[in-house]
């Protein structure tokens, strides 16, 4: 295994001390944290500290190895390892004696998580959380893994301590080799010099063919388990369908969205999606609900509705937003981060049902409801419990089922709830703004825009201070500056808000933060963006996030921002930078469409070309609404009632009482029209260049 100092753990076996499940009367140093995850561990007998100068200096002074344990508040196996090991006083004594123990919330410090996750994977281990990594006193990793049962954990602690004492030189060499690997940019491995000739239909077709091969034709999604939702994959397929009118591409999206929302992944009573399914059928989820998934899924279901007009997608969107308002919303408009998978010490207990619970909640209505949701007296899942599932093309609930859902939700609300992670993360909230904007476009319901504006105002009031964006808020903003992810999604949110309000202050803010990112995150040597600001804490490696996953990579989001703002603001330099970034990754975008899907959307925008739709006149708002109810993924929208200093409005004043629409491409406009239907025909005009 590369970079791995092999540890003969079995040579140092020792008995596991009894798990006393005792908590300190006096808390450890995590008690001063703002992170709900760190506060969960504040009463462990382990002498946990936050990552920071004090803990790192202590490791050097004492010449002790560092144990960094990384997780997040709604992580099931993090809770399990805490109960089994970190609450055990005897195991804690071993940890405290031999290590400087540091707890990290991966949601507040994704930069630290990113580095040490890559380190563990480079050792040949599987990644995941909790992530437990052993470092030299100067922060260099030399061993790590994920969850360890208590017997294995206590043996490993003893072996690591002994090896650190007896084989220091070997550890140092292994750690240095691993750091050299971590400091090698992904761009050196995957980027190539490329011309704009790559932006063609053939490469789009190849991306689709690869996705089609990986597609689960029965259950939807990518054919494997566990199964994650990966929203940008399906958003890309919607765009591909728009370009080539490939019915199979659309069917893949619609099947996936229907299968995802029929089974346990989706909360059939309260709305909202869990993080992933442990099986390939979306049946049994890992019950934690994350804001970042649901924010993106608002966009996906809204766009799918715009294409298909399927009322089931309408229902999903409104239920999701209802859940966000009811369970995830700060009184001032921000959205909290996550809901735990566990309650009463059991995963999924809050969301699943025993036969007795259903009978108690429903009484005489039990039988038709049990049949509707495929529930059994003995349970359809483990421990005699039922996960609520529907048929994929089941009609909308009748009056009996609708009333039963209300009764079951009311019954469930009385149960002990999963823990809420009530920190507000900038990037995840900005994703949700984007989702709400897309819902507003699809449904023209002003409530979505009201929520989006309230959310952006929360960010401005609480997470932007002294010319910087901060990562998180819980009663006060975090000490950590935002990462590229936070800035990029915030810029995206401002850009999208402008296009549904025509309020140019949003566009100005998008431009200002783009200039900030170019100044503080850009690497002029590789012409991509670092994940952390130039002024942020210097870790052992400075990473650039390139691959899209359940959250799109921050470089891909930023590149799309540059492309869109380049069009809106007539900034050819920004537009060209986006094109250059995408061209250099074009080979891997084409061959790895699942993990480059957000890049794939930008690739499609460059290949297809974007329409610039300029609306001028008194009816600009009603025309915009009518236009946005249609699905036009390759159009940006601008508008003004009278005049604007933006370049695309030059020479486009209209007479009072009139409204004119200009459909342009690369600043070349078709004849102006005075109604939306004619503008739509111009947008849909066949593209003869391909």
- What pLDDT does 48 receive? 98
pLDDT at 269: 97
Q: What is the DSSP letter of 84?
A: I
Low-confidence ranges of the chain (pLDDT < 70): 1-25, 686-690
Write the CA distances from 117 to 2, 102, 129, integer angstroms.
15, 15, 9
Q: What does the DSSP assignment read for 140-173? A: -EEEEES---HHHHHHHHHHHHHHHHH-HHHHHH
Contacts with 156 (C-beta within 8 Å, 6 or more apart), sequence order? 7, 9, 148
Q: Is 283 helix (H, G, I), strand (E, B) or coil?
A: coil
Phi, psi (rounded to 5 degrees) for 282: 65, 20
Q: Rounded CA gap, 396 and 315, in Å? A: 9
Cα(546)–Cα(529) distance, rounded to whole angstroms? 9
Are 275 and 290 a contacting pair, CB within 8 Å?
Answer: yes
Classify strands 464-465 and 66-71 as parallel, antiparallel or unpaired: unpaired
- The CATH number of 9-183 is 3.40.30.10
Strands 338-339 and 289-290: antiparallel
Beta strands in 466-596 (DSSP E): 468-469, 472-473, 522-523, 528-529
The answer to whether 174 touches 105, Cβ cutoff 8 Å, is no
pLDDT for 205: 98
Q: How far apart are CA 223 and CA 122, in angstroms?
A: 25
d(CA 354, CA 373): 13
| Residue position matching structure tokens 């470092």 | 135
Tell me which DSSP letter residue 294 carries: H
How many other CB atoms are there within 10 angstroms of residue 113's CB atom? 22
Residue 249 DSSP symbol: H
| Inter-helix orientation angle 247-262/201-214, to 10° | 40
CB of 648 closer than 8 Å to CB of 570: yes
Axis crossing angle, helix 426-443 with helix 311-327, rounded to the nearest 10: 140
| Per-residue pLDDT at 10 | 36
How buried is 133 (Cβ within 10 angstroms: 0-12 exposed, 13-18 middle, 19+ buried)?
buried
Q: Are strands 131-135 and 141-145 parallel, antiparallel or unpaired?
A: antiparallel
CA dihedral 304→306→307→313, nearest 10 degrees, is 40
Please say whether the beta carbons of 511 and 559 come within 8 A.
no
Q: Please, are residues 46 and 86 in contact by the beta-carbon 8 Å criterion?
A: yes
Structure tokens at 243: 């370009």
pLDDT at 14: 41
Which stretch of DSSP H or E encloses residue 428? helix 426-443
Tokens of 316: 């999903």
pLDDT at residue number 654 = 85
Among left, alpha and beta (phi > 0; psi -120 to 50; other), residue 333 is left
Q: What pLDDT is attached to residue 396? A: 73
**Cα–Cα distances in angstroms (integers) from residue 1 to residues 4, 127, 131, 584, in the given order:** 6, 15, 19, 31
Backbone φ and ψ for 322, nearest 5 degrees, come out as -60, -45
Q: Residue 651 half-sphere exposure, CB side, CA atoms within 13 Å?
A: 4
Which residues of 171-284 form beta strands (DSSP E)? 227-228, 276-277
For tokens 């500290």, name the residue.
Answer: 49
Round to whole Å and give the CA distance between 373 and 57: 56
Phi, then psi, of 415 in degrees rounded to 5: -80, 155
């Amino acid at each position: 295994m590369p970079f791995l100092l092999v540890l003969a753990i079995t040579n140092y076996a020792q008995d596991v001390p009894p798990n006393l499940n005792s908590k300190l009367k006096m808390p450890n140093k995590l008690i001063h944290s703002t992170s709900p995850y760190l506060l969960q561990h504040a009463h462990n007998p382990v002498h946990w500290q936050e990552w920071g100068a004090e803990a790192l200096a202590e490791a050097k002074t004492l010449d002790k190895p560092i144990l960094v344990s990384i997780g997040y508040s709604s992580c099931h196996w993090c809770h399990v390892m805490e109960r089994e090991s970190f609450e055990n006083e005897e195991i804690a004594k071993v940890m405290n004696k031999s290590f400087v123990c540091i707890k990290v919330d991966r949601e507040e410090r994704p930069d630290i998580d990113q580095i040490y996750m890559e380190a563990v994977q480079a050792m040949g281990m599987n990644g995941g959380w909790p992530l437990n990594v052993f470092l030299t006193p100067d922060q260099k990793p030399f061993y790590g893994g994920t969850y360890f049962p208590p017997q294995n954990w206590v043996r490993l602690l003893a072996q690591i301590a002994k090896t650190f004492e007896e084989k220091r030189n070997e550890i140092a060499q292994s750690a240095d080799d691993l750091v050299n690997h971590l400091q090698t940019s992904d761009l050196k491995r995957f980027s190539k010099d490329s011309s704009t000739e790559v932006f063609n239909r053939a490469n789009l077709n190849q991306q689709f063919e690869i996705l089609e091969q990986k597609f689960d034709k029965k259950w939807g999604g990518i054919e494997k388990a566990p199964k994650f939702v990966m929203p940008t994959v399906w958003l890309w397929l919607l765009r591909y369908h728009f370009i080539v009118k490939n019915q199979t591409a659309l069917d893949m999206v619609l099947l996936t969205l229907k299968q995802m929302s029929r089974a346990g992944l989706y909360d059939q009573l309260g709305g909202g999606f869990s993080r992933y399914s442990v099986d390939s059928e979306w049946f049994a989820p890992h019950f934690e609900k994350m804001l970042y998934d649901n924010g993106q899924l608002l966009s996906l279901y809204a766009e799918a509705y715009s294409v298909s007009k399927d009322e089931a997608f309408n229902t999903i969107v409104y239920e999701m937003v209802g859940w966000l308002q009811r369970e995830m919303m700060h009184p001032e408009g921000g959205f909290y981060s996550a809901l735990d998978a566990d309650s009463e010490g059991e995963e999924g207990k809050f969301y699943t049902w025993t036969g007795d619970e259903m009978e108690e909640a429903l009484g005489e209505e039990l039988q038709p409801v049990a049949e509707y949701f495929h529930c059994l007296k003995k349970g359809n899942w483990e421990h005699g419990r039922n996960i609520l599932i529907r048929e994929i093309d089941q009609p909308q609930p009748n009056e009996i089922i609708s009333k039963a859902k209300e009764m079951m939700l009311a019954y469930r609300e009385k149960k002990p709830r999963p823990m809420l992670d009530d920190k507000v993360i900038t990037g995840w909230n900005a994703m949700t703004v984007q989702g709400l904007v897309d819902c507003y476009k699809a449904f023209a319901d002003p409530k979505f825009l009201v929520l989006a504006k309230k959310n952006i105002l929360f960010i401005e009031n609480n997470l932007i201070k002294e010319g910087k964006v901060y990562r998180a808020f819980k009663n006060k903003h975090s000490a950590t500056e935002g990462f590229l992810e936070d800035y990029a999604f915030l810029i995206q949110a401002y850009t999208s808000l402008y296009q549904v309000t025509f309020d140019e202050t949003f566009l100005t803010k998008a431009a200002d933060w783009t200039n900030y990112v170019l100044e503080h995150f850009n690497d002029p040597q590789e012409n991509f963006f670092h994940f952390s600001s130039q002024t942020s804490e210097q870790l052992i490696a400075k990473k650039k996030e390139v691959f899209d996953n359940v959250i799109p990579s921050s470089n891909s989001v930023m590149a799309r921002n540059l492309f869109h703002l380049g069009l809106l603001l007539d900034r050819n330099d920004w537009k060209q930078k986006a094109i250059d970034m995408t061209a250099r990754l074009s080979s891997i975008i084409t061959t790895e469409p699942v993990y480059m899907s957000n890049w794939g959307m930008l690739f499609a925008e460059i290949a297809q070309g974007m329409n610039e739709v300029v609306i001028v006149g008194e009816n600009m708002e009603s025309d915009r609404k009518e236009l946005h109810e249609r699905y036009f993924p390759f159009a940006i929208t601008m508008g003004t009632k009278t005049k604007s200093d933006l370049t695309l409005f030059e020479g486009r004043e209209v007479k009072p009482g009139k409204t004119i629409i200009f459909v342009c491409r690369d600043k070349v406009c078709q004849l102006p029209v005075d109604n939306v239907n004619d503008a739509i025909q111009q947008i849909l005009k066949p593209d003869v260049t391909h």
